[in-house]
Structure 1
Amino acid sequence: MKFMTVKEREEALIFNVQGEGRLVVGPQRVFLFRERLEQLKLVCASQYQYLVMKDRFGMVTHKRGPCEMFHNPLEHDSVYVENAIKIDANHMIIVYHRVKQSVERSVIRGPAIFFPEAEEWLHKFVWHGSDPQDKARMIPSSRKFTQLAAIPDQFYYNVRDVRTTDDIIITVKLMIFYGLQDVITMLDTTHDPVADMINAVCADVIAYVGRRTYAQFLEQTDELSRLTTFPQLVQRTERVGFSVHKVVYRGYHATEQLQAMQTEAIEARTRLRLDAEIEGQRQQLVDYKLEKEQARTKLRQSMEESKQNHKQKVDGLKQAHELGMKQEEHKYQLEIEDKWVRARLDLQAGEQKDAEEHLRELHHLGVDMTKYMLSQQAAPVNEEVQFVGLDRKGS
């Protein structure tokens, strides 16, 4: 016998000796006599969670959060919390819902938060996936997911052991870009579209390489990056609701012996090409030096020609200047002489005019002009010329 307290926001079950139980909701203080009290566990779900409740008869119900509930063993076999499904943008989920005797299918696209009901379940995709140790190797059923991406995706794949017409075995390396077009068609026609694409691309590569020799394959590898080379891949992806955007050829791999031979041939070709490039660069350097020397010679000649032209121009200008100066000086002298002659003539004319005026005045005064003129002439001077002879000695 004892007293027990059930606090506020708590619940408990009290069992008697016969195994009968009764629910006690707090706050409450109870007296126990030959009884046992068991606290109930409170289960809480946030706004991004929901409660999964399974009753004693197997009926399962869901309750969306935020909510809380006590796990009462008398009513529920189990009560637990599950997270809601957060669907990112460009993703979708396939939900199956039981309606009476049938099942309906719906597609929910993101971004969204999905709370499944008790009679709903998600489609689980099981596809081929890349090997973590070798990204170009696909492993069956290794990729499992419930959210289907609606954005374009890609994967690497190596088509192994492909034989040419001359019995050379090679491995062709490809990268395939694809995208989802119709999810309903995909769900109705295939359970693993990646496997379908792998089988189709293997068939296309085998058909392409099988019609060519090894040398022809090396010459025409650019065709492996064209969609027209992969008709079966394009047709198969369209049938399963996908589309191939692009196929990229990433190279090839042959046997070790053939690869060694190919490596030696590549090294030889590379060596020859490098030698040719070095010789070409050397010849270009020689040509460059000759061109620069020729240009330098032309520049010197041009500079010399410019100097000569400049000197001739300066000499010409100097001569023209000197000639101009001489012409100006001669002109000036001529002008001075002309002025001097004119002044002399003017002076002579003035003197003659004065003489005429003087004579005229004398004539008016009654002077005998003949006698006057004779008196003005100077008396003749007797000149004596003496010849002195020289002796032979020069004295």
Structure 2
Amino acid sequence: MVLLRKIKRGRRSIVWKFNGDAQYIDGPRLAVVWPCINRIQPLYMHQANDMQFLEVNYLDGTTEVKPGPVALSDDPLKILSIFTKDLIKLDANELLVLYTQKENETKQDALSVRNIIKGPTLYCPKPNEWIHEFTWHGEDGAHKTRIIPGAKVFQKLRLIPDQFYYNITDVRTSDDALITVKLMVFYELFDVETMLNNTHDPIADF
């Protein structure tokens, strides 16, 4: 029995033959399918709008980034996976710290270059980049005036002034009375490079 499969305009399918060969078919077209001889597989169309990008992982281990608007079909002969991801949105008071591996370096001698991306912008990360993740002391959710390690984990660094509360308990006065000193600490980041070179957690340094 012969079967007919309709392939719509703008779509692509792949025909797998019994001997393992494959053939691409682009629409609009009618494809003939012979059961037990060949099999037709529609290929999913991945799309990214103006605020997104496609991350394409190939079978040879390479990765490609395609900023939107773009559309790309699956390709089981070349592509392992395709993911649609959102561009990174940065406001005027935010920045990203990126590390880029030099393309002309071998894996044994790989060196990274640090870059700072300031907002406002939409940023599309490249395959050879990774984003610095900050892990700072922060306020305990149950006790606002208690600072605990690792409470703040983030990638976007804010440049506007900020503050936190901190209580110092069991403080003795000159007349040997116990009191609690309540502090509101204000801080503002002026030099990102200096901070990155000297500390991994500025809140812990207070």
TM-score by length of 1: 0.48
Distance (whole Å) between structure 1 residues aligned to residue 123 and residue 89 of structure 2? 6
Q: What's the secondary structure of 1:136's corresponding residue?
A: coil
Q: Select which of 103, 118, 123 maps to 2:127.
A: 118
14-23 vs 110-119, greater mean Cα deviation: 14-23
Distance (whole Å) between structure 1 residues aligned to residue 54 and residue 24 of structure 2? 21
Tell me, yes or no, if structure 1 residue 141 matches structure 2 residue 150: yes
Q: Select which of 196, 199, 204 maps to 1:187.
A: 196
Counterpart AA for 1:96: Y
What residue number does 2:140 align with? 131
Please, what is the CA RMSD of the aligned residues? 1.4
Q: Select which of 85, 94, 118 maps to 2:97.
A: 94
1:166 shift after superposition: 5.1
What residue number does 2:3 align with? 2
Counterpart AA for 1:92: L
1:168 shift after superposition: 3.5
Bigger radius of gyration: 1
Q: Select which of 99, 105, 108 maps to 2:114.
A: 105
Distance (whole Å) between structure 1 residues aligned to residue 183 and residue 128 of structure 2? 44
**Which has the larger strand fraction?**
2
Distance (whole Å) between structure 1 residues aligned to residue 173 and residue 21 of structure 2? 83
**Which has the larger helix fraction?**
1
Q: How does 1:326-341 map to 2 (within 5 A)?
A: none
Unaligned runs of 5+ in 2: none
Q: What's the secondary structure of 1:140's corresponding residue?
A: strand
**Structure 1 residues 241-299: Cα deviation after superposition (integer angstroms, max 9, x where no partner):** xxxxxxxxxxxxxxxxxxxxxxxxxxxxxxxxxxxxxxxxxxxxxxxxxxxxxxxxxxx
**Structure 1 residues 74-94: Cα deviation after superposition (integer angstroms, max 9, x where no partner):** 111100111111110111111
What residue number does 1:171 align with? 180
What residue number does 1:291 align with? none
Aligned pairs, number: 197
Unaligned runs of 5+ in 1: 198-395
Distance (whole Å) between structure 2 residues aligned to residue 165 and residue 18 of structure 1? 92
Q: How does 1:289-368 map to 2 (within 5 A)?
A: none
Distance (whole Å) between structure 2 residues aligned to residue 29 and residue 78 of structure 1? 27
1:118 shift after superposition: 0.8
Q: Quick one: higher RCO (CA 8 Å, sep 6+), 1 or 2?
A: 2
Q: What's the secondary structure of 1:73's corresponding residue?
A: coil
1:121 shift after superposition: 1.4
**Structure 1 residues 118-165: Cα deviation after superposition (integer angstroms, max 9, x where no partner):** 111111111111122221111211111111111111000011233345
Distance (whole Å) between structure 1 residues aligned to residue 92 and residue 169 of structure 2? 37
% identical equivalent positions: 38
